Structure formats: structure tokens, C-alpha cells
Amino acid sequence: MTITPQSKSQYKTWQKAEITAYLLSMAGEHVTVNDICQHFEKKGKPIGVTTVYRQLDKLVAEGVVNKYTLDSSSSACYEYVDTDHHSDGVTNCYHCKCDRCGKLIHLHCEEIEELIKHIEADHSFVINPRRMVFYGVCDDCKGLVGAEGGMTNA
């Protein structure tokens, strides 16, 4: 079978639509490229890793998906952007990552917005809210960390 530019374009459009639908079904969750590839493999519709990255890059550029690179040891996470799970259109969504279990928590906080404004106005530094992640310990892990002689609940 010969793939013409038109059929090739339609094929990519199908993949983009499938990836977008999957991300929409996972709204409010963060997924990796590996998660996406595994999902489609299980459905019997495998999509190549390179294609997934290419389509995600397009969705990020379109503003449909946010990409988060939390640290050098973690895979990038992607998240479908909608007002119910991510932003209210006024306040950005920040993230807290648990150092123990890796849990990622969405954080909407007007006080952080005020802090960002203060840093920009008084310290001449503009913070990129899409790259802002707070590290610490989640509620589920607090007791475990304190019991092991690490951080305490104090």
C-alpha cells in the first residue's frame, strides 16, 4: 500500500484524536509517554513512541496539554488542560510532589499567586508557573517518614 501525503495526514490526525481522547479521559491526571503507549498497546492499537512524542508536542503547542518535567530522574508528565481539573482561568495550578511515593498533587492557591506577583514586582524576577513544583511529603507518607526518623509532623 502506498501512503500518499493525504492518507499520511489522516493517519496522524487519527492518532492525535486518539491521544487527545485518552488524555481527556484522564483529565486531572498526569501521564507519561510510556503510560500512553501502554494504554494503546492494551487496546490493540499500538502507537509508536516517536509518534506519541510528536503528537504531544503539537498538543502542548496548541495549549491543549501541559508538559511538566519535574526533575532529572522522572519522565515528563503530560496533562490535559481544562478548567475543571487544572485552572479556573484566573489562578494557575501548581503542583506538589511527594519525595517518598512520587504522588503529584494539584494546588490552587491565591497566596502563591500573590507571592509570584511580589517576586516579580519587588525582585524583578518572573516565575514560570508551569515549571513550579513544590517538593515535600504527602499526608499518606507523613507518618511513615516521621516513624523512620526523617521529617516529622511538627
145/2 Cα distance (integer angstroms): 59
Q: Report helix, strand and coil shares of the chain as percent, to nearest 5.
A: 45, 15, 40
At 63-119, the pLDDT tens digits run 888 888 767 777 888 888 865 544 444 457 788 888 888 887 878 788 888 999 999
Nearest to 79 by CA among 138, 135, 32: 32
Q: How large is the average pLDDT for residues 21-44? A: 91
